[in-house]
Amino acid sequence: MADIRNNFVGIKSPNPFWLASAPPTDKAYNVERAFKAGWGGVVWKTLGEEGPPVVNVNGPRYGAIWGADRRLLGLNNIELITDRPLQVNLQEIKQVKKNWPDRAVVVSLMVPCQEESWKAILKPVEETEADGVELNFGCPHGMSERGMGSAVGQVPEYIEMVARWCKANTRMPVVVKLTPNITDIRYPARAAKRGGADAVSLINTISSITSVNLDTFSPEPSIDGKGSHGGYCGPAVKPIALNMVAEIARDAETRGLPISGIGGITTWRDAAEFMALGAGNVQVCTAAMTYGIRIVQEMISGLENWMDEKGHKDLSSIVGRASGNVTDWQYLNLNYIAKAHIDQDLCIKCGRCHIACEDTSHQAITANLNGARHFEVKDEECVGCNLCVNVCPVENCITMVPLAAGVLDKRTEKPVVADYANWTTHPNNPGATCVTG
């Protein structure tokens, strides 16, 4: 059986599945339930500084978009950091950690951008025996208007400064949670590393408006007829998060910096993908908020079964395995040629591949054969774009089949070349450094 025990910057947990800092980790009641269900760790919902707690809106906090059958694909929220008294949270954290010594309990923090404020919050958190802290530089809504959350995360100098303060004032590992609401995720990640952070976690939520009420013309979620951008999360953001994790994992300056992967993780497969791209563990929120916390059971067994099937003994044998395969476009092999192939036995003849190709791509799929409905790829037209694969409702019905070296590509009427060749050496590239042949 695969060993899925996790050691993330020295924080140990029985599995790599943590609940992210969010509503599911706002109090002992939920966290206790999560640990009973099997979660490896939690990042406690963000604490603010001592004093009157923040207040939340009293109307809707969440907006959403849905796919077919009203499957929730994306969720946004305008909830702020914990609105419970600091002391209550600290007491509960201490008790929960005592009850569950084998689980990871990390505490998310967000206080004003002054060293004294950070110093003041770190001390009592340390006293709870929590395993680490996560600096919330990510939340794009509400707190950012007060100079916190993503307002810090959008300025690399602030990230570095605060990370440094925290490292100087606590023995606990410091994880910096990054906002995706920037143009290049590598800059804040580099800043966190320069500031001495032990790790980064990403992504936090994306600034968003989920919908507009067409009766009232108010954005959703609507508070008395008005709306404010919220933080977007859930399956819809996973591709954005995967890319940002990969960018940090392969950046020369940040390579090797531990990453806790976050963003739309719903299944074991999502988790494995994040880890393959370089995340040391993962954090989950929306999936738990959609289906309840017991989804972790599927995540654990799915990950174990896959690792057993593939012979991966422990997490270190999968983390980062895909990062080396993320490259720049210019290094992709232009001699690699694939053609779509439709399995006629699996085809249900919906014709979506045909119309997608016909209307919007390369006119490379037939609709008829001898007067009967028949969908088949025309190799002489197919550029291998994969659109048909993506729109086909039957899994594995259409596949991309690579052409072997020497085989004639009917589209170009040239044989497939075995050698690797990319844009940097392509004759059409005016800036090509090394033109061969």
Partner 1 sequence: MSDGVHRDGIAAGRLSAEDYAINFSDLHPPLSAHEARVEADRCYFCHDAPCMTACPTSIDIPLFIRQIVVGNPLGAAKTILSQNIMGGMCARVCPTETLCEEACVRETAEGKPVKIGELQRFATDAAMTANRQFFARAQPSGKTIAVVGAGPAGLACAHRLSMHGHDVTIYEARSKPGGLNEYGLAAYKATDDFAQAEVDYITAIGGIRIEHGKALGRDVTLDSLLKQHDAVFLGIGLGGVNALGASGDEASVAAVDFIETLRQATDLAGVPVGRRVVVLGGGMTAIDAAVQAKLLGAEEVTICYRRGPEQMNASAFEQELATANGVVIRHWLQPKKVFHNGGPDVTGVELEYTAMRDGKLVGTGETVSLLADQVFRAIGQTLDGVSAAGVTLTDGRIAVDAGFRTSNPKVWAGGDCVRAGEDLTVTSVAQGRDAAESIHRALGA
- For residue 229, state whether it binds partner 1 (rule: CB under 8 A): no
- Range in contact with partner 1 (rule: CB under 8 A) among 131-139, 246-254, 303-311, 351-359: 351-359
Instruction: Tell which residue, 245, 173, 177, 168, has the closest CA to residue 205.
Output: 177
Instruction: Tell which residue, 102, 139, 122, has the closest CA to residue 174.
Output: 122
Q: How far apart are CA 9 and CA 258, in angstroms?
A: 7
Instruction: Among 141, 177, 193, 354, indicate the residue that binds partner 1 (CB under 8 A).
Output: 354
Identity of the residue, 209 or 367, whose beta carbon is nearer to partner 1 in the bound complex: 367
- Range in contact with partner 1 (rule: CB under 8 A) among 88-96, 115-123, 159-167, 342-350: 342-350
- For residue 416, state whether it binds partner 1 (rule: CB under 8 A): no
Identity of the residue, 42 or 347, whose beta carbon is nearer to partner 1 in the bound complex: 347
- For residue 351, state whether it binds partner 1 (rule: CB under 8 A): yes
String marking each residue 46-75 x if it binds partner 1 according to CB under 8 A? ----------------------xxx-----
* Alpha-carbon separation of residue 241 from 147, 181, 214, 237, 292 (angstroms): 24, 11, 31, 6, 22
- For residue 349, state whether it binds partner 1 (rule: CB under 8 A): yes
Identity of the residue, 212 or 408, whose beta carbon is nearer to partner 1 in the bound complex: 212
- For residue 352, state whether it binds partner 1 (rule: CB under 8 A): yes
Rg of the chain's alpha carbons, rounded to an integer? 25
- For residue 123, state whether it binds partner 1 (rule: CB under 8 A): no
Identity of the residue, 129 or 343, whose beta carbon is nearer to partner 1 in the bound complex: 343
Q: How far apart are CA 139 and CA 2, in angstroms?
A: 36
Instruction: State the amino acid at position 335 in one-letter form.
Output: N
What is the distance between the terminal CA atoms of the chain, rounded to a whole angstrom? Answer: 52
Identity of the residue, 226 or 349, whose beta carbon is nearer to partner 1 in the bound complex: 349
Instruction: Among 52, 393, 406, 427, indicate the residue that binds partner 1 (CB under 8 A).
Output: 393
Contact between residue 72 and residue 232 where contact means Cβ atoms under 8 Å apart: no
- H helix or E strand, kind and range, residue 280: none
- For residue 362, state whether it binds partner 1 (rule: CB under 8 A): no
- For residue 394, state whether it binds partner 1 (rule: CB under 8 A): yes
Instruction: Tell which residue, 261, 9, 69, 231, has the closest CA to residue 140.
Output: 231
Find tokens 């052409």 and name the residue. Answer: 403
Q: How far apart are CA 174 and CA 233, in angstroms?
A: 23
Binding residues among 241-300 for partner 1 as defined by CB under 8 A:
none
In this structure, how many other beta carbons lie within 10 angstroms of the beta carbon of residue 388?
Answer: 26
Contact between residue 17 and residue 40 where contact means Cβ atoms under 8 Å apart: yes
Identity of the residue, 309 or 345, whose beta carbon is nearer to partner 1 in the bound complex: 345
Nearest approach, Cβ of residue 334 and partner 1 (Å): 32
Identity of the residue, 371 or 427, whose beta carbon is nearer to partner 1 in the bound complex: 371
- Range in contact with partner 1 (rule: CB under 8 A) among 1-9, 261-269, 349-357, 420-428: 349-357
Nearest approach, Cβ of residue 348 and partner 1 (Å): 4
Nearest approach, Cβ of residue 358 and partner 1 (Å): 8
Query: What are the residues whose beta carbons fall under 8 Å from the beta carbon of 128, sequence distance 6 or more?
Result: 90, 93, 94, 97, 105, 107
- For residue 369, state whether it binds partner 1 (rule: CB under 8 A): no
Q: How far apart are CA 90 and CA 118, in angstroms?
A: 15
- For residue 371, state whether it binds partner 1 (rule: CB under 8 A): no
Nearest approach, Cβ of residue 355 and partner 1 (Å): 4
In this structure, how many other beta carbons lie within 10 angstroms of the beta carbon of residue 268?
Answer: 22
Identity of the residue, 22 or 340, whose beta carbon is nearer to partner 1 in the bound complex: 340
Instruction: Among 88, 168, 212, 348, indicate the residue that binds partner 1 (CB under 8 A).
Output: 348
- For residue 343, state whether it binds partner 1 (rule: CB under 8 A): no
- For residue 171, state whether it binds partner 1 (rule: CB under 8 A): no
> Which residue of the set 113, 139, 388, 434 is catalytic?
139
Please give the full DSSP string across 27-95, using - where no structure is assigned: SHHHHHHHHHHT-SEEEEEEE--SSSPP---SS--EEEEE-GGG-EEEEEE---S--S-HHHHHHHHHH
- For residue 212, state whether it binds partner 1 (rule: CB under 8 A): no
Cis geometry, peptide bond prior to residue 203 (ω within 30 degrees of 0):
yes
Nearest approach, Cβ of residue 25 and partner 1 (Å): 33
Contact between residue 354 and residue 365 where contact means Cβ atoms under 8 Å apart: yes
Size of interface with partner 1, in residues (CB under 8 A): 14
| CB-neighbour burial class of residue 431 (10 A; exposed 0-12, middle 13-18, buried 19+) | exposed
Pairing of β 206-208 and β 199-202: unpaired
- For residue 98, state whether it binds partner 1 (rule: CB under 8 A): no
Our answer to whether residue 139 is catalytic in this structure is yes
Identity of the residue, 330 or 363, whose beta carbon is nearer to partner 1 in the bound complex: 363
In the complex, which residues of this chain contact partner 1 (CB under 8 A)?
Answer: 68-70, 348-352, 354-355, 367, 373, 393-394
Q: Which residue numbers are catalytic?
A: 139
